[in-house]
Amino acid sequence: MDSTVQNSPAETRLDAHSPDVTAEAGPRAALNGVVIHYHEIALKLGNRRFFEQQLRRNVLRATSVLGVKDVLRLSGRMLGILAPGADWEKIAAALRKIFGIAYFAPAVKLEQNMAEIKATAVKLLTDKNFASFKVDTRRGQKHFPMTSPQINAEVGEHIRQRFPARVDLSQPDLTLHLEIVDNYALMYTGRIEGPGGLPVGTSEKAVCLISGGIDSPVAAYKMMKRGVKLIFVHFHSAPFTSPASQRNVERLVEMLNTYQFRSKLYLVPFAEIQQHIVAHAAPSYRVLLYRRAMVRIAEMIAYKNRAHALVTGENVAQVASQTLVNMKVINQAATLPILRPLAGDDKQEIIAMAQRLGTFEISIEPFEDCCSLFVPPHPETRAKLPVIHEFEAKLDLQPLIERTMAKTVQKEFKL
């Protein structure tokens, strides 16, 4: 019996599962893989192969530099193969941000052989503290000669004889997971939660209008989580807004890029259009006219990138421009759908999400938004389309929009 095993609950912290990826043979089992599970429900959307291929690509994009050599698609899950010396902490941090993953675990990949399974179980549990345990087998492959309950019983008994721990099927300190799948047996003890959602790239592309505020980065996160790949567009009013404000937006995109690995940001110089609107339209209609011009430009960028929707951080009734009537009038400038994933969220919920994401700290830095320039004290809350059309006829924005597009700068972000 192993004298190092104490009667205290097994640790479930991440560092308790650090795989001994460099160990060849030693007292501990060499954790040479990472099992990745996704929610089956996602697959009901249709194309399973497409979903899995995109998830595999995303995992490799984020982790190959960290030591994941390959990702195998097994039935119903994936297996990342770890190179010796792989940086597990960094791999786990990366996997936590890959949408589509329900949970993952560092694992031992071994042959489908009961003697080897039992020996590996003992090695794997040697440095763990647990007073109770259970073995939980899932058999993806029915040709294995034993049923899951038989495997649980036999491996469980083998463990019970070697550790001072009892079997507890309802609330064990430790669960030894065993997956008999394709040509492998996979064994692991700790599950780490993934972010859920769908792999980025499985739900086409959209253009996200990103300001430096709190809302739009959260809106971006929510859409990426649904598998949408985003192209970012920011309107600035240089020289009236500072380079620091633009830099803040770049930092936000850098942070959001960690979920989609490659991003484009279009920086659109908007001051000329704004000044033109200020000179020719009633003050109360300015913000709506800005927004409609923004939507038109964002749409040109969307068509250029084969994107099929726009995304904004608008939130019903948060500010004067965000009444339903005004949202309708903004939509009427667009041919693509405008997605507003925060429409029904409370500000407190949005702030909490921004804090979790890490964008909050950047968003609350002093910032000059182009739309807070030249804004009247009483913006229209119930804009009328005929009035808008009257102003827009006078404005003749199209040549200005073309000029603005020509001066737009594009930046690329890579992980």
Tell me how far, at minimum, the Cβ of 204 lies from ligand ATP, in Å.
19
Select 136 or 369, whichever has its Cβ closest to Mg ion: 369
Select 63 or 321, whichever has its Cβ closest to ligand ATP: 321
C-alpha–C-alpha distance, residues 379 and 389, integer Å: 17
Tell me how far, at minimum, the Cβ of 396 lies from ligand ATP, in Å.
23
Tell me how far, at minimum, the Cβ of 2 lies from ligand ATP, in Å.
56
Beta strand pairing call for 262-269 and 409-414: antiparallel
Q: Is 363 in the site for Mg ion (CB under 5 A)?
A: no
C-alpha–C-alpha distance, residues 412 and 257, integer Å: 10
Q: Is 245 in the site for Mg ion (CB under 5 A)?
A: no
Contact stretch for Mg ion (CB under 5 A) within 30-38, 122-130, 198-206, 366-374: 366-374
Tell me how far, at minimum, the Cβ of 371 lies from ligand ATP, in Å.
5
* Residue 216's binding partner out of ligand ATP, Mg ion, none, with CB under 5 to 8 Å set by partner kind: ligand ATP
Tell me how far, at minimum, the Cβ of 234 lies from ligand ATP, in Å.
5
Number of residues that bind Mg ion (CB under 5 A): 3
CA-CA distances (angstroms) from residue 257 to 62, 132, 146, 252? Answer: 11, 42, 46, 8
**Residues forming the site for ligand ATP (CB under 6 A):** 209-211, 213-216, 233-235, 312-314, 318-319, 321-322, 369-371
Tell me how far, at minimum, the Cβ of 97 lies from Mg ion, in Å.
25
Tell me how far, at minimum, the Cβ of 267 lies from ligand ATP, in Å.
9
Select 187 or 311, whichever has its Cβ closest to ligand ATP: 311
Select 137 or 216, whichever has its Cβ closest to ligand ATP: 216
Contact stretch for Mg ion (CB under 5 A) within 67-75, 280-288, 320-328, 368-376: 368-376
CB 114 within 8 A of CB 158: no
Tell me how far, at minimum, the Cβ of 369 lies from Mg ion, in Å.
5
3-state secondary structure 103-131: EEEEEEEECCCHHHHHHHHHHHHCCCCCC
Contact stretch for Mg ion (CB under 5 A) within 2-10, 189-197, 212-220, 342-350: 212-220
C-alpha–C-alpha distance, residues 51 and 78, integer Å: 12
Contacting Mg ion (CB under 5 A), which of 190, 201, 213, 379? 213
Helix and strand element counts for the chain (H, E):
14, 15
CA-CA distances (angstroms) from residue 39 to 49, 198, 235? Answer: 14, 9, 38
Contact stretch for Mg ion (CB under 5 A) within 91-99, 191-199, 209-217, 234-242: 209-217
| Residue with nearest beta carbon to ligand ATP | 213
State the sign of the Cα–Cα–Cα–Cα dihedral 116, 117, 122, 128.
positive
Q: Where are the alpha helices (DSSP H) in 305-397?
A: 324-331, 347-357, 360-363, 385-395
Q: Is 211 in the site for Mg ion (CB under 5 A)?
A: yes
Tell me how far, at minimum, the Cβ of 322 lies from ligand ATP, in Å.
6
Select 20 or 314, whichever has its Cβ closest to ligand ATP: 314
* Residue 234's binding partner out of Mg ion, ligand ATP, none, with CB under 5 to 8 Å set by partner kind: ligand ATP
Q: Is 217 in the site for Mg ion (CB under 5 A)?
A: no
C-alpha–C-alpha distance, residues 209 and 43, integer Å: 30
C-alpha–C-alpha distance, residues 413 and 253, integer Å: 8
C-alpha–C-alpha distance, residues 117 and 25, integer Å: 15
Which distant-in-sequence residues (6+ apart) come within 8 Å of 75 by Cβ?
A: 140, 141, 181, 182
CB 238 within 8 A of CB 273: no
Element (H, E) at 206: strand 205-209
Judged by the rule CB under 5 A, the positions of this chain that interact with Mg ion are 211, 213, 369
